[in-house]
Structure 1
Amino acid sequence: MTQRNVTHGTFCIERRFDAAPARVFKAFSDIKAKQQWFNGPPGWVRNHHELDFRVGGQEISDVGPPGGMHHIFQARYWDIVPNERIVFSYDMQMDRTRISVSLTTVELRPDGGGTRLCFTEQGVFFADSDGPDGREEGTKFLLDALAVSLTEAPADA
């Protein structure tokens, strides 16, 4: 029997965005808005993305370098409070190998004319993953991309 070690990890990332909570929420809930920031590093391609943003709905995203390994995100939404909170679980796969399973909470709070976002992830990372530290760095990269998309997109986007 093959033994697979696991590492457990939790991290919280807080960010402030110069956009109203409704606009930040839309960046998570609307597929066109989400595709502006929910990608990989420059040069990666989106092979597939679908989003059924509702309690019980699913999201699947498959991205990666051209001709390279597929990074597959499969999520289920458990709790959605518009403009305030999103709770989802997801697994990540590299090609066909599951590397992690996580529970994530995204909280949005008004902060002056902007939004304070608190992103909390609790994960189980398998032997083939880059672990909690790598996931936290990847999440920071995505939240940086979210910040850019909020400054580049029209206010009604």
Structure 2
Amino acid sequence: MTVTHATFTLERTYNTPPARVFDAWADPAAKARWFGGETHELDFRTGGREVTTGTAPNGNKLEASSTYHDIIPDERIVYSTTLTGGDTLATLSTTTIELLPDAGGTRLVLTEQGTFLDGAEEPAWREQGTSAWLDKLGEELK
């Protein structure tokens, strides 16, 4: 039984105002396009939930379930997430998204603090996956 704690920060600059970046996060149809998953449900409000499902390479069902704790329109989003593979809890994390005005665009700063259990997921895998969906968000905003 192992527990690994990790924190990472990713930054992206998008050539669009913070309100547009925030809307791409808040709108269920837009979020489903860039975030991915086999199924995606979003109740974007403080106390609301987001559930995304998929299938791991080994065939296990994956479920990411998030709860939104703090939402300040066009400025900040804070949520916690559990990731399960089959019936096994793989990770628990807290993520903060900051949307900062930057020369007519937006600098997005994402910081994630995670607890990774029993090698079911590695911090580097999470960082790589998160980086990929931030790139997809950039495509959505074009």
TM-score range normalised by the length of the shorter chain: over 0.9
Q: Which secondary structure does the structure 2 equivalent of 1:128 belong to?
A: coil
Q: Which secondary structure does the structure 2 equivalent of 1:56 belong to?
A: coil
Please report the TM-score for the alignment, with normalisation by the length of structure 1.
0.85
Give 1 or 2 for the bigger CA radius of gyration. Answer: 1
Q: What is the deviation of 1:132? A: 1.2
Partner in structure 1 of residue 138 of structure 2:
147
Equivalence map 1:82-121=2 (5 Å): 82-121=73-112
Q: Quick one: which of 27, 32, 36 aligns to 2:29? A: 32
RMSD value, Cα: 1.7
Partner in structure 1 of residue 116 of structure 2:
125
Q: Is the 8 A contact 2:14 2:107 kept in 1?
A: yes
Q: What is the deviation of 1:66? A: 9.5
**Unmatched 5+ stretches in structure 1:** 41-45, 152-157
Partner in structure 2 of residue 43 of structure 1:
none
Q: Show CA shifts across 1:51-100 (max 9, x none).
A: 11111111111123799332211001100000000000010112222110
Q: What is the deviation of 1:113? A: 1.7
Paired positions, count: 142
Q: Is the 8 A contact 2:91 2:121 kept in 1?
A: no
Partner in structure 1 of residue 5 of structure 2:
8
Partner in structure 1 of residue 72 of structure 2:
81
In 2, the alpha carbon distance for the partners of 1:131 and 1:63 equals: 18
Q: 1:149 to 1:65 in 2, by over 3 A?
A: farther
Percent of aligned pairs sharing the same letter:
46
Equivalence map 1:36-55=2 (5 Å): 36-39=33-36, 46=38, 48-55=39-46
Specify the code of the residue in structure 1 equivalent to 2:3: V
Q: Which secondary structure does the structure 1 equivalent of 2:34 belong to?
A: coil
Q: Which secondary structure does the structure 2 equivalent of 1:140 belong to?
A: helix
In 1, the alpha carbon distance for the partners of 2:114 and 2:23 equals: 25
